[in-house]
Amino acid sequence: MKNKVYWVICICPLWLFLSNCVDKFNAHLPESSIGLLIVEGSIISDSAVVFSLSRSFSLDVEGVPPDFNKVDAEVCVTGEDGSSFRGVALGNGKYRVAVGTLHRDVRYSLKIVYEGDIYTSEPQYPIGTESIDDVTYEQQGEYGDVSIRFSMQSKDAACYSWSYEEDWEVRAVYNPMCAYDPKTDKIVDYDARPYSRGWCHSESSEIIIGNMEINKDNRVKDKCLYSVGADDIRFSHYYSTLVKQRKISKGEYEYYQEKIKLNEEMGGLFVPQPSELPSNIRCDNSDKQAIGYVGVSLNVAEYRIFISTDDIQYRLPDGYCQGAKGLKEEFTFLDLYLMGYTIAYPDPNPATGFKGYAWVSGSCTDVRYLGASLEKPPFWSVEVNPKLRSHE
């Protein structure tokens, strides 16, 4: 019983989740806190990093202001050794910076020039991150959720941040040799099945932080990072997850910890005034405030695994890719196309087909409807070995 109590006290407080939703970050600020610069991103050695700039706004206005992330600025990473890495604008307040090699004995900071003001993050020495020991998966019970778990050990009881990227292969349920062409209003034949296989990609929208000081032996063993339902299409063929680990400073940890705490206390609809968050970004030439915390890292530890449908108990969602029903006789092929239907196969039977064809949801014949790319990821082998693990 004592052992169980220990785990509740020492493990549960370790994990804090923070959503990146805009409405949780901008709400009911006092007038003096409207229009403040918000900075998101980290400086990482030998990496192309993206910094997101936006402005705080009040949710008293209806909807999200269309210009909240229209921030025209100059962004660069600078080192006290004179090094400088300039950012390139991507649009919508995003700036990509190709950061070169950072040195342990040099402090680095982010510099932003915006509307005549210069904002600078506190100079910091880059922090190195230990490797992830292992990433595994576990399915609880018959057709239960699949949990992604990881293990690691901290050398110095430090603070960490974890995130993950998902990639999964999708295939069309039906592989028709013909399709409706809305440009010609005709049924055209395929020489091949061009849209039957693709790959989807997603990045975690939450930030997960932990303080290893409160964990026994500074170790985490088979800790659940996230779970996916057994009927999720991500597991329909092959699935891959890349778990990322970054050691962060106590100040960065406290910034996210306080942000999470304040959001939870106010039901996720309150944004604290800048003075309530331990931001490390200052305006050099005025008393304007900014919101954000820019960390500096020597590296990010990564660990990738693959999961095959054969490795778990998977089932398609109920009713997935069943034929279209209730189609009206007056519908045209263009009507069906605009409704998101595609041809699955010729079907002259009027009881099951519609005007000579069986129609299904577009995602059942064309993976592009699922948001998939037809370009295979570079780390995806021709035939993925479902038992393969890649430790990067």
Tens digits of residue pLDDT in 66-106 = 888 899 999 999 999 999 999 999 999 999 999 999 999 99
Q: Which of these ranges, 27-36, 106-115, 140-149, 226-235, has the smallest mean pLDDT?
A: 27-36
Mean pLDDT confidence for 291-316: 95
Mean local confidence (pLDDT), 229-258: 94
Query: Three-state secondary structure along the chain?
Result: CHHHHHHHHHCHHHCEEEECCHHHHCCCCCHHHCCCEEEECCEECCEEEEEEEEECCCCCCCCCCCCCCCCCCEEEEEECCCCEEEEEEEECCEEEEEECCCCCCCCEEEEEEECCEEEEECCECCECCCCCCEEEEEECCCCCCEEEEEEEECCCCCEEEEEEEEEEEEECCCCCCEEEECCCCEEEECCCCCCCEEEEEEECCEEEEEEHHHCHHHEEEEEEEEEECCCCHHHCCEEEEEEEEEEECHHHHHHHHHHHHHHHHCCCCCCCCHHHCCCCEEECCCCCEEECCCCEECCCEEEEEEEEHHHCCCCCCCCCCCCCCCCCCCCCHHHHHHCCEEEEEECCCCCCCECCEEEEEHHHCCHHHHCCECCCCCCCCCCCCCCCEECC
> What is the pLDDT, as a whole number, of residue 66?
84
How high does pLDDT run on average in the chain? 85
Q: Which residue has the higher pLDDT, 27 or 329?
A: 329
Indicate whether 274 pLDDT > 90.
no
Of residues 323 and 126, more confidently modeled: 126
pLDDT of res. 263: 67
The pLDDT score that the predictor gives to residue 300 is: 97
Q: How many percent of the chain have pLDDT more than 70?
A: 84
Under the banding of pLDDT at 50, 70 and 90, the label for residue 59 is low
Query: Confidence band (pLDDT; 50, 70, 90) for 386?
Result: very low
Of residues 150 and 389, the one with the higher pLDDT is 150
What's the rounded mean pLDDT across residues 193-217? 88
Say yes or no to pLDDT of 27 above 90.
Answer: no
Query: How sure is the predictor about 276, in pLDDT bands with cuts at 50, 70 and 90?
Result: low
Q: What is the pLDDT of residue 382?
A: 55
Would you state the pLDDT for residue 167? 98
Q: Provide the pLDDT for residue 106.
A: 98
